[in-house]
Chain A
């Protein structure tokens, strides 16, 4: 079998150039030796080619006036027209403002929350109590955004929502949080906190598990109280993690969760709710402006890449100088 293959290879390569013959032979040899590996990798390769690489090629329609019945080959090229249309559209500044404001809210109110909870959990001395609290606060992470939004709706609806009535009772005037533009951002951040705050503690607790208890004992001997120990021992132990997560968060600064925003948007709060992702969906899928919405999406991902690469660069520099 082997003998026959080898002779077939030489016979076939007879007419070609020497280097080509060698290359071809090596290629064939590799294919024969690892043939099952190539069979195994085929479905995954096909997946990446069709659902990852092909859409990247599809981005060219951002520079076209894409008509589905003409296809990419038949559609007219328009250069940067879709981009200039977008940048001169008042929508652009509205989206940019909404996205940035939401991202800043997230950074200021949501980001510190898991750190605080992890610090408090770390101070609990009853192991079973700590486990129980962890078990409870991780639950919403696994529940879908639709369920979270649905529960929010049922609690806050003016048609007998229990939280709606409580707010009305406490403040003395009813507030329809669900459709009030002023309460949209606090609502989104509040939902995020409920869903992901507990889960976010995991990474900090993992970092804290590695702290040597002797450090705490030494601090006690030096007369440090509870707060001083948290400040001088616990916090420095997770500082590197905090910095890395902060930098990564800056890398995803423009990523506001599509599902959450989409689910909580209604006609009354749309003006403050719309962000880049939901705009791409509305304009692209529901209104069929494929080229224009692809241009908007491309703009967002390019800015995203710059932010990710930039923040990675900063993270690396921190990695070199931040640890002493």
Chain B
């Protein structure tokens, strides 16, 4: 029975000192401990958030770097393509110009040849006229000797004359 009989003195002291203990610990121990725990957890949370943010930023930075590189590559490709096009164009133009020049030269040569030819023909015609007059002179002289011989001579001379 003694086991389940609470002692008055013990109840008194327990009530008094347990209340005091709660008060003392609440004020001087639990308050700073819980506050410290809370602050530390908050700072850890902050640090983790900051680290996450830094990681995100890094990712963004890396992404933008890659983007930049990609753009640079594209730009280079474009420039190279344009340069190639320009080169091709210049070559084509040069070829065209050269062929036009050649054509012009050939044309001029042809014209020159024609002109020379015409001059030669005119000269020939003049010579022919002179020759004809000389022949005619000779024929007229021959006719004075023999009629038939004249005729033969003219024919022969005409046969000799050839237009080239």
A, B bound? no
Q: Which B positions have Cβ atoms within 8 angstroms of A?
A: none
